[in-house]
Amino acid sequence: MNAQEKHPHVRGFGMASARSRARLVERLRSLGVEDETVLAAIEKVQRHQFVDEAMTSRAYDDTALPIGYGQTISQPYIVAQMTSLLIADGLPESVLEIGTGSGYQAAVLAEILPSIYTVERIKPLYERARKRFAELGYRQVRARLARDGVLGLPDYGPFDAILVTAGAEKLPTSLYEQIADGGRMIVPVGPSGDQRLMVIHREGSSFVEQTLDAVSFVPLIEQRADERTS
């Protein structure tokens, strides 16, 4: 029994066909996505459940869509690219996602991995995503509300992989110690209009930085020092 059959009350029941998801996967293949594990996960996830009702007709387009509060659900190609980088050296046991947003990226990870923690600073988005995870049966996703995602979740780490789904002006070095030895962090870095995807590999006390493709993400908002102490 799939998630829709278990939860027929979920918004959008019956709107998304397997054919729509299959077309999206073929589109991603044509763009060079090769990891079949990632493609299978994207084909399983009901993206229409993670967008606003007015956007359901565009849910399986390969494009970012607004979800309110100045945030977006990421383009499926970017989700596929970041997920592929995350599992390139094997499947991590534990993952921390910074920026839950709609919850779509975490859901794709949950189709592959056993344990995902995800942090969101905007309370209404956190509440919606948490509800979606429960309704769709993603019990291995643990959502947390945090005023500053750049601080991560030190009480739950270190993590085999960290995925940052918002653009950081500079590398969030505050997260480095939450990367497990041999693990990695994937993060878009740079000002709006000039962001690059970066992969940070940890080997003992050393961190190797690798710069990849140009990307475009909403900004990662850090809490000011005076707000942290208020």
Strand pairing class (159-164; 71-73) = unpaired
Q: Regarding predicted confidence, which is higher, 53 or 179? A: 179
Find the distance separating the first CA and the last CA of the chain, reported in whole Å.
48
What was the pLDDT predicted at 13?
Answer: 37
Residue 185 lies in a domain: yes
What was the pLDDT predicted at 223?
Answer: 56
CA gap 15, 57 in Å, rounded: 8
20 belongs to the catalytic site: no
What was the pLDDT predicted at 3?
Answer: 41
Residue 200 lies in a domain: yes
Cβ atoms of residues 79 and 104 within 8 Å:
yes
Residue 19 lies in a domain: no
Residue 108 lies in a domain: yes
Residue among 181, 178, 183, 187 nearest 161 (CA): 183
In which band, very low, low, confident or very high, does the pLDDT at 14 lie, cut at 50, 70 and 90? very low
Which tokens is 86 given?
């995350």
Domain of residue 177, residue span: 63-228
Mean pLDDT of the chain: 87
What was the pLDDT predicted at 181?
Answer: 96
Residue with tokens 């029994």: 1
Look at the chain and report how many structural domains it folds into: 1
CATH number, position 82? 3.40.50.150
Q: Rounded mean pLDDT of 185-194?
A: 86
Residue 52 lies in a domain: no
DSSP conformational letter for 192 = T
Residue 213 above 90 pLDDT?
no
Residue 101 lies in a domain: yes
What are the E-state strand segments in 63-127?
65-68, 71-73, 95-98, 116-120
Residue 74 lies in a domain: yes
Q: Of the residues 74, 84, 206, 230, which is catalytic?
A: 74
Whole-prediction pTM value?
0.87
CA gap 128, 131 in Å, rounded: 5
In which band, very low, low, confident or very high, does the pLDDT at 98 lie, cut at 50, 70 and 90? very high
